[in-house]
Amino acid sequence: MTLSIYAPLKIGSVINQDFEIELIDHIAAAIARAGVRVDRIHVANFYVTLKHRPMAILAGSAGTGKAVLVECLAKMLAGSGPQRQVVPGHAWYAGGPPANTALIGIHSRMITEKLLYIIELASQPENAQQVFVVGLTHVSPAELLSFFTDIAYQMPHNRIMRLGDAHLSTPVPFPPNLLLIGTMDTMDFNWWDEDLLSEVTIVDWHADVGFPQAAIPSKSQNLGHKFLSSRLRNSRKAYEKLLSVVAGTKQPLQAIMLVRNVFRTHGFEFPPALLDEVILYLANAWSAQGNGLFDPVTPRNLDIASDLALAQLVLPRSLETVRSSETLQAELHSILKENLPRSSAFLKRQCKGYTSLIHRKEFETRS
C-alpha cells in the first residue's frame, strides 16, 4: 500500500482546514479500516470524477472493495435515510433458470422504481442543496445498458423518457444533485459505447483486500451541500480556475495537447466537447480553496490529474482509432510511458493482442 502524500500538517494550516482534502482522507482511512488497501490517489480520483460528472462505474476484480468505497462516500455526502440508496444492481441471488428470469425481472423493476423515487425526491426545491446517491453494486452488462448507457444517451437533452424497463409518459430531468454510481466485477472492462462514455466515467479500480480492522464507520456526515458548492460543471469557469491554480508553473493542457497532436497526424481530431470534459476534470482536481486533491504540489497534482483525464476520458473515446494503427500505438506509448503511467497502462491493456488479431483476420480474408 502506498502511503498518503498528505503527511500530518500543523494545526491551522490551509490544507488541514480544507473540507475536500479532509473528506478524501477520511474515506481513505475508513475503507482501510474495512480492509481495503489502496493508494489514496485512487480514492481522490473517484471523488474528483463525481465532482466532474454525476455518473460513474467502478470497474475491477470482484472482492476489491468497490462497494465499500461507494457505501462510505454515500454516507459522507448523503447521510442516512432515503438520500442514500446502495443496492445490488443485479439479481445474482436468483440462481439458475427457470426461476431466475422472473426474479431478475422483478429485481430490475425494483431498481427502476427506486431510482424514479429518488429522482422525484432530489428534484424537490427544498432538497436542492442535498446530495442523493444511488449505488448499484455488481451490475451486469444488462444493467450497464439499461441504467447507465440509456440514461447517458438521454442526458444531453435532460429529458429522461426511458429508465430501466419503464417508459415514462412525461419526461423528467436528471437532478443535478443526484449521483448514480455502479460497480462492475470485471478484470477487463470492454463495453466502450460512445453514448455511455459521453456522460459516464469508467473508473479502473485496483485494490487489495485484507482482514478488516473494523466495519465501515456507521457515522453519517451529510456533507452534500459542501460538495455541491465545491464542484464545477461550467467549462468556462473551470478553465478560469485552472489558469488561476497553475499560474506561474506550466501550461495546464500541455500533456493533453501533446497527445492531441499525435492523433492529428493520423487524421483524428478531438471533438470540442471532449476537451471541455478534460478541462472540467482537471479543474475539479483542485479543491474550492485551490489545494491539489491528488498532491499538495501544483505541478505534481496537474501531472496526476492529466494522466487520469487521458486514461478515463480521452483514450476510451479514441480506442477504435488507436486499435486500428500500430504506428499510432507506438507513438502514443513513446509519449505516455515516461510521465503518464496510468494512460500508458490503459493503452497496453486495451491494445494487447488487438492489432495482431486484425492482421490475422486480414491474412485469412486474403487467403
pLDDT in tens, the chain (367 residues): 333 444 433 333 344 589 999 999 999 999 998 899 999 999 999 999 999 999 999 999 999 999 999 999 999 999 888 899 999 988 776 666 665 777 878 888 899 999 999 999 999 999 999 999 999 999 999 999 999 999 999 998 888 999 988 899 999 999 999 999 999 999 889 999 999 999 999 999 988 887 666 666 555 577 889 999 999 999 999 999 999 999 877 788 999 999 999 999 999 998 889 999 999 999 999 999 999 999 999 999 999 999 999 999 999 999 999 999 999 999 999 999 888 999 999 999 888 765 443 344 343 444 4
Burial class (CB in 10 A: 0-12, 13-18, 19+), 211: exposed
C-alpha distances (whole Å) from 97 to each of 6, 101, 103, 144, 348 are 51, 6, 10, 22, 38
Phi first, then psi, for residue 192 (nearest 5°) are: -85, 70
Question: How wide is the angle at C-alpha 154 spanned by C-alphas 148 and 160, nearest 5°?
Answer: 90
Residue 38's pLDDT is: 92
Cβ burial of 288 (10 Å; 0-12, 13-18, 19+) is middle
**DSSP characters over 301-336:** HHHHHHHHHIIIIIHHHTHHHHHT-HHHHHHHHHHH
pLDDT of residue 248: 78
Cis amide bond preceding 252, omega within 30: no
Q: Are strands 84-88 and 55-60 parallel, antiparallel or unpaired?
A: unpaired
Q: Determine the pLDDT at residue 354.
A: 52
List of domains in the chain = 15-226 (3.40.50.300), 232-358 (no CATH)
Q: Quick one: pLDDT at residue 353?
A: 62
Residue with cell 422525484: 120
pLDDT at 43: 97
